[in-house]
């Protein structure tokens, strides 16, 4: 029987599916679906009526400083989740990629595949569907040895953590929906000064707590000072890896408390206690230019890893031009 492909646009239509990859889960689909400006697309591949793979993407609004100021883009984290032997995965991915590309280009101007575990996976199929690659960087902290998480921190980073705690800052997990709402508002204020960084609506974090925190697939950490939330971070967990999706702090107003640093430290310490093998920092920038966030997180002892991202524009001529430039 040939491979059957089904694309889901509404969470209420999705049947029970196997898997433990959070980036391609029904729970994350529901989070996207409830977030204003987000439209999730889930491709499920089946053989003989049984799911063998799934691939989740999300179309969202993207605000830019250069024309066009407002575009829609589809983002995919990884290359899907599979329930068949490894030698079958790539061909199934090729079919799902074709389906997702056709659907996403009806709704968005740009498609981006990021956070690839194996940058070589699907190379032939990306090219066949007119995607082009750009070299990228990932930063990961190894957590699987017996040393404490602070062992790889720079001396200055250790001093800042001690000073922040000594000066009255406290770090813990968010306990209530109100705390998560205050955390999201604080973080939105911090991100508003970073024009290039996308930040979702407050509804995203409320749904994150409802869908993933309660299922222990995510944790939100807050940094407080005199009962005010001045920093925090949001982590999600997939298999044996923690992913730091959002983090920040009011570092100018509360410089002596080092809220942004304490927020990252909390995420790393918790991931270590959970038994995660790695913590990965999301979106640390292009490899050929300086990036303030990448420089910041590298002082926590992480390692840079070279990878790539795949891009596809709606305009075929533009893809052909950029493919030549990036060969």
Per-residue pLDDT at 212:
81
Query: What stretches in the chain show pLDDT beneath 70?
Result: 1, 63-70, 192-197, 214-215, 285-291, 326-327
Q: Given this model, what pLDDT does residue 69 score?
A: 45
Residue 142's SS3 state is: strand
CATH class, domain 139-305, is: alpha beta
CA dist., res. 211 & res. 118, Å (int): 28
User: C-alpha distances in angstroms, 225 versus 50, 167, 248, 259?
Assistant: 52, 9, 15, 9
**Helix axis angle, 259-274 to 155-166, nearest 10°:** 100
User: Which pLDDT belongs to residue 65?
Assistant: 47
Check whether the bond before 72 is cis (ω within 30° of 0). no
Spatial neighbors of 218 by CB under 8 A, at least 6 apart, are 22, 208, 209, 212, 234, 235, 236, 237
What is the pLDDT, as a whole number, of residue 195? Answer: 45
> 4-129 is classed in which CATH architecture?
3-Layer(aba) Sandwich (3.40)
Q: Where in the chain is the domain with CATH 3.40.630.30?
A: 139-305
Residue whose C-alpha is closest to residue 96's, from 38, 47, 153, 169:
47
């Amino acid at each position: 029987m040939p491979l059957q492909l089904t694309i889901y646009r509404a969470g209420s239509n999705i049947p029970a599916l196997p898997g433990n990859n959070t980036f391609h889960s029904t729970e994350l689909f529901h989070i996207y679906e409830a977030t204003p400006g987000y439209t999730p697309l889930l491709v499920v591949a089946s053989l003989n009526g049984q799911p063998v793979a799934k691939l989740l993407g999300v179309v969202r609004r993207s605000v830019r400083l250069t024309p066009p100021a407002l575009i829609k883009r589809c983002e995919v984290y990884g290359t899907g989740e599979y329930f068949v032997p490894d030698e079958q995965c790539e061909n199934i991915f090729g079919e799902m990629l074709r389906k997702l590309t056709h659907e996403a280009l009806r709704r968005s101007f740009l498609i981006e595949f990021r956070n690839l575990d194996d940058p070589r996976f699907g190379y032939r199929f990306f090219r066949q569907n007119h995607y082009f690659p750009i070299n990228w960087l990932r930063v990961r902290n190894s957590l699987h040895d017996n040393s404490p998480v602070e062992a790889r921190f720079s001396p200055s980073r250790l001093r800042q953590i001690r000073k922040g705690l000594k000066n009255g800052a406290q770090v813990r997990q968010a306990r209530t929906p109100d705390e998560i709402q205050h955390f999201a508002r604080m973080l939105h204020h911090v991100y508003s000064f970073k024009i290039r960084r996308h930040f979702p609506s407050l509804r995203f974090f409320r749904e994150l707590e409802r869908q993933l925190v309660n299922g222990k697939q995510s944790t939100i950490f807050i940094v407080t000072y005199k009962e005010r939330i001045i920093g925090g971070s949001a982590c999600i967990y997939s298999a044996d890896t923690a992913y730091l999706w959002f983090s920040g702090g009011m570092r100018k107003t509360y410089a002596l408390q080092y809220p942004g640093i304490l927020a990252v430290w909390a995420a790393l310490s918790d991931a270590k206690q959970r038994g995660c093998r790695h913590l990965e920092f999301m979106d640390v920038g292009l490899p050929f230019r300086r990036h303030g966030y990448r420089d910041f997180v590298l002082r926590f002892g992480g390692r840079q890893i070279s990878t790539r991202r795949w891009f596809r524009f709606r305009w075929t001529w533009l893809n052909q031009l950029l493919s030549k430039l990036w060969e």
